[in-house]
Amino acid sequence: DVKVTQSSRYLVKRTGEKVFLECVQDMDHENMFWYRQDPGLGLRLIYFSYDVKMKEKGDIPEGYSVSREKKERFSLILESASTNQTSMYLCASSRVAGNRSPLHFGNGTRLTVT
């Protein structure tokens, strides 16, 4: 079974803090993704990466950056946290296998910025 592990289940940070969300997958997947999920807005893609040191902006990259130094690890960085970044953050991974490879999600990190 694919396992995608997010380092924290719940996180509370103050406005202006730098926040790191970590994600590790154990299936040697090439692709990794960061989504946020908000009521009424669904899942929105922040950033994704299809290879080590590669990254692409998703639909809502503003206020975020990412790092992929190793294939199994994909980090989401909030440079200066703001209250509108309070959300559920979901990491996912998938194999490069044409258009049929599904996403496998981690358990999520619920971030509260006060």
Partner 1 sequence: QKEVEQNSGPLSVPEGAIASLNCTYSDRGSQSFFWYRQYSGKSPELIMFIYSNGDKEDGRFTAQLNKASQYVSLLIRDSQPSDSATYLCAVKKDAGNMLTFGGGTRLMVKP
Name the site residues for partner 1 (rule: CB under 8 A).
Answer: 31, 40-43, 45, 48, 50, 58, 90, 94, 96, 98-108
Nearest residue (CB) to partner 1, 33 versus 85: 33
Could you tell me the smallest distance in angstroms from the CB atom of residue 36 to partner 1?
12
Nearest residue (CB) to partner 1, 6 versus 85: 6
Could you tell me the smallest distance in angstroms from the CB atom of residue 99 to partner 1?
5
Could you tell me the smallest distance in angstroms from the CB atom of residue 33 to partner 1?
8
Nearest residue (CB) to partner 1, 68 versus 82: 68
Could you tell me the smallest distance in angstroms from the CB atom of residue 111 to partner 1?
14
Is residue 15 within 8 Å of residue 84, measured between CB atoms?
no
Is residue 98 within 8 Å of residue 112, measured between CB atoms?
no
Tell me the C-alpha distance between 85 and 97, whole Å. 32
Nearest residue (CB) to partner 1, 49 versus 75: 49
Contacts of 4 (CB under 8 A, 6+ apart): 23, 24, 25, 91, 92, 93, 104, 105, 106
